[in-house]
Copies of this chain bind each other. A is one copy, B any other.
Amino acid sequence: MKTDIDKIMQDRELDVLLVLGDAEHNSPMYYLTGGGHVNAATLIKPRGKDATLFHNDMEREEAAKTGLKTVSYSKYPLKELRKEADGDMLKIGAIRLQKMLTDCGVTSGRVGVYGHTDLSASFSMLMAAQKLMPDVEFVGESGMDSVFLQAMETKTEDEIARIREMGRITTEVVGQVKDFLTGHAVGDDEVLLKADGKPLTISDVKAKINLWLAERGAENPESTIFSIGRDAGFPHSVGTPSDPICLGKTIIFDIFPCEAGGGYFYDFTRTWCLGYAPEAEQKLYDEVREVYETIIEKMEVGMLFGDVQKLTCELFEAQGHASPLNTDAPLEGYVHSVGHGLGVNVHERPWARMEQKDGLLQPGVVFTIEPGLYYPERGMGVRIENTYWAREDGTFERLAEFDFGLVLEMKS
C-alpha cells in the first residue's frame, strides 16, 4: 500500500524517488498524484518526507487538484537556465533537475528513477544530471519489481472498490457483446451477417466494445483481444480485424479496460463458440475448465503464486499437454503463466513465476487466474479468466461474476 513506500525505500536503500512524465497513463505518477491533466511533470519524494510535484505553469490548476505540494517550473526561468547551460539544450533539463532536487533537500544519495515516459529525453537528462551531481547516484529498478510495484501489490479497500466497479463495467460490456453476437442472422458457411447482408467482422465487434466501454466512462488503452479459430491459438493475438465471425469456432474474448485517465484496470476472459461447439473444441474447453476449478479449489490465501503456476502446469501435463514445467517456451498446450497482479497496471506484482519466491497471495492482493490451452495448427484456443481479491479473512473474492459457458446459443 502507498503507506508502505517509506519502509520499502529503506529496504531497497533508496533515498529519493524521482518520477517523470504525465500524471495519466503513467502508473507510478498516477499512483502518487491520482491522475489529472498534468503533463511532463517531475515528482520528487525524499524518504520520510512529502512529495513535491513540479509542473508547467499552464497546468497549475490541474496540479493543485492532486493535493500535493506543487511548484511551477516557472520558478526556474528558461532564460537563466539557457545562460547557465551555455545554450546546450540537453543540459538545460539537467540543471533544472539539479535545482529541483536541491530545493527538495536532495544533494546526495541513491535516487530511484521512474515513469512511463520518453526514454530518450529522460536518459539524456539523467546522464547529464549525473555529471552535475557526483554525490547522487541515479538508479533504475526492474520492470518486474520496484518500490512502486511492491507498494502497489497490496490494495486498500478504496482501491478494491474501484477495481470492483471496473469489474462491473467490464462484465456488463461482455454481456452486451454476447447479446449482440447471438442476435445476428447466420448466412452461408455459418458466417454471422449484419443487417446489410455483409459478414460481421472482428473489427465490427471491437468498435462496439470500445463504444460500450466509452458509454460507461472506461478506457481501453491496451486494446482488446477478440480472436477466433487459429488466431485464438495464439494467446496474445488480438484478432485479425477483417476476419468474419462464424459458428462453431473458439473465440477468445479477453478484455482489460481501465478507468478514464489510466486508473485502475480489470481483466477478464471468456472463450465462446457461437451456436455449437465441435467435439474437439468442447473437449479443450472442458479440460481448461476442469483445471480452472481445481486451481480455485486448491488455492489458499498466503500461498506462493508460483506454486499455483506449478500446480496448473502439473494439472495440464496430467491431461497430456505441454507446459513450461517440462518444456522450454512451449508453442502449444499451456504456454503462459496462470495469472498476474493487477491495479493501476494491467500486469503487476505478484507474478506467478515458479522460480520466484516472493509472489505471495497475501491479504490485499488482487490477481487474475487465467489457465488456457492453445493449438493454433488445430485452429483453436481456450482461456478462462477472472480477477480475485485475497481478503483479510482468509478467503478469496471473485470481483465480478459472469456465466462460464462455452456455447452461446444463437437467438434465431
Residues of A within 8 A of B (CB): 20-21, 24-25, 28, 36-37, 39-40, 56-62, 74, 77, 79, 82, 89-90, 93, 112-127, 138-146, 207, 210-211, 213-215, 217, 221-223, 225, 231, 234-238, 260-261, 328-329, 331, 335-336, 355
Contacts and interface: CB of A to CB of B under 8 A. Distances in A.
Nearest to A239: B37
A312 B41 CA distance: 27
Contact of A145 (B77, B89, B238): B89
A60 B329 CA distance: 13
Contact of A329 (B74, B118, B142, B329): B74
Contacts of A214: 207, 210-211, 213-214
27 contacts: A24-B222, A37-B236, A37-B238, A39-B236, A58-B336, A60-B234, A62-B237, A62-B238, A74-B329, A89-B144, A112-B120, A113-B123, A114-B119, A116-B116, A116-B117, A116-B118, A116-B119, A119-B123, A121-B141, A121-B142, A123-B139, A124-B139, A125-B140, A210-B214, A211-B215, A223-B260, A223-B261
Given A117-B119, A139-B124, A143-B120, A24 B59 contact: no
Contact of A115 (B119, B141, B211): B119
B90 A119 contact: no
B146 A120 contact: yes
A207 B217 CA distance: 6
B211 A58 contact: no
A144 to B, nearest CB: 7
Contacts of A36: 238
Q: How many copies does the complex hold?
A: 2
B223 A24 contact: yes
Nearest to A65: B240
Contacts of A59: 234, 236-237
Among A79, A223, A231, the most chain B Cβ lie within 10 Å of the Cβ of A223
A88 B60 CA distance: 42
Nearest to A225: B37
A37 B241 CA distance: 12
A261 B203 CA distance: 13
The 6 closest A-B CB pairs, nearest first, are A124-B140, A121-B143, A123-B140, A214-B214, A37-B238, A58-B236
B116 A141 contact: no
Contacts of A217: 207, 210
A217 B205 CA distance: 11
A20 B225 CA distance: 22
Among A58, A115, A123, the most chain B Cβ lie within 10 Å of the Cβ of A123
A271 B93 CA distance: 34
Contacts of A141: 90, 120-121, 124
Nearest to A79: B328
Contacts of A37: 223, 225, 236-238
A66 to B, nearest CB: 13
B124 A142 contact: yes
Nearest to A90: B142
Nearest to A234: B61
B261 A61 contact: no
